[in-house]
Each structure stands twice: as C-alpha cells, then as structure tokens.
Structure 1
Amino acid sequence: MNTTKVMLRVLVFSLVFTMLSTHQALGNKENCDKDKDFIKRQCESITLEEQLTISVMKVVDVAKECGNPVPPGNKCGTWTVPPQLLARVHP
C-alpha cells in the first residue's frame, strides 16, 4: 500500500513537472529572428534517431509562434504536419 502511494506521488510530480516545463521550450522573440530559416531547413532533415530526443510537434509549434509556420502536408522528421482546422464562425 505504501509503495502505491509513493509511485502515485512520483507520477503526479512527473506530470506537473512536464506540464510546467513544456511551455519554456517554446520560442521567444529574440530567438525567432535567428530560427526562422533554420527551423524550416532542419525540420525536413530530422532523423528517426533524433526524434527520440526532439519533439517535432514542439519544433512545429516554435515555427508557428515565430510567424513562420511549417505548411500543412510538409514532413517534419517522420511526422506530416496536419491541415489546420477551420475555426467555426458563429452567426
């Protein structure tokens, strides 16, 4: 019973840590100017081995935040960027 409590605490701590540290991985204004061309070129050349340490979804998010989104249908590593979902307009 005690082991279960410890494991639950470790899992909750890991989840909270992951949620809090994810946003920090996104780009900031100073790096956006340097990263625009780099992200576009590197996204296509990410290997399967590199994908074990690099989140291609975060790379796509950084590109989007920097105002240079990876176009839908393009490959980023082995992942294909999905089409944008259309926002519903309410009358």
Structure 2
Amino acid sequence: MSRMAIKVFQVLVLSLSFNMFTSHIVWGEKDCTKEKVAVLHFCDGSININGAYVAPTVACRNIVEAEETDMICICRNIAPADEVLISVMKFIQLARDCNKPLPAGTKCGSWIVRPSPPPRA
C-alpha cells in the first residue's frame, strides 16, 4: 500500500470512529423521540411532577395505547432534564393504566422499575 492510500485509510477510520461515538443512537436501537414528545405533551396532566397522579385523558390514552408507541424506549430515554418536569413513578403508573406495563428491571430515567404489587385478595 502506498503512503497516500494509508493516509486516506487512516482519515476514513478516524471519521467513522468519530461518527460512531457522536451519534446519539446506538446502531440497531430504535429512535422514539417523536413518541416521547407526544406522550410528554398529551399526558402532562397525568405525569406532571406537581400534584397527585390523575387518570389519563382520552387523548393521552390514545397516544400511549397506539401500537407504535414504545413505552420501554421512551422510559430508557427519559433524561435528567425531563425528570425536573415529570414524575417517573407517575410515568410507570401511566404505562400500567394504559395496558403497557413496563417489565420489572426496566431502566426508566434514573429509576429501575420494580415488580407490580400482587393483586389484593
């Protein structure tokens, strides 16, 4: 290989490496940013950090229950800045109320989802 070809190859490897590490999405991981924005907007009354949990509105329920809404992906992508505005505990309850419960052990913002309590007798 000539010196020029080696230099070109080095530049290509460097730029590919840079691109991989600066990309916000891991290869193969789903991007659920639009879904997250929709849930945070339409379900604000239920998941707002202030006040008590409120049952989801019809609009909120429609967004959460939509087939394309991936609550696990949204949970993984709740940032510390989001947690200033929303309650992760209320988000987890919202998912349960909309028949999309999050599996125990799921990372949701800075929280880890605990198992659901057993049904009352």
TM-score range, shorter chain: 0.5 to 0.7
User: Distance between the aligned counterparts of 1:57 and 1:66, measured in 2?
Assistant: 14
Which residues of structure 2 form unaligned runs of 5+?
1-49
Contact conserved, 2:53 with 2:90, CA < 8 A, in 1?
no
Q: Which one has a bigger Cα radius of gyration?
A: 2
Amino acid in the other structure paired with 1:22 = A
Partner of 1:35: 64
Q: TM-score, normalised by structure 1?
A: 0.60
Q: Work out which of the residue numbers 44, 50, 53 in structure 1 matches 2:76.
A: 44
What TM-score, normalized to structure 2? 0.48
1:1-91 correspondence runs (5 A): 21-24=51-54, 26-36=55-65, 37-87=69-119, 89=121
Deviation larger for 69-78 or 28-37: 28-37
SS in 1 for 2:80: coil
Shift >4 Å, 4+ stretches:
none
Higher helix share: 1
Aligned pairs, number: 69
Contact kept? 2:80, 2:110, Cα under 8 Å: yes
CA RMSD of aligned residues (A): 2.1
Tell me the percent identity: 28
Structure 1: 5+ residue stretches without partners: 1-17
Contact 1:29/1:66, CA 8 A, preserved across alignment: no
Give the SS at the match of 1:42.
helix
Residue 40 of structure 1, CA deviation = 3.1
Higher RCO (CA-CA < 8 Å; seq separation 6+) = 1
1:80 Cα deviation (Å)?
0.3
Change (3 A) 1:85 1:23: closer
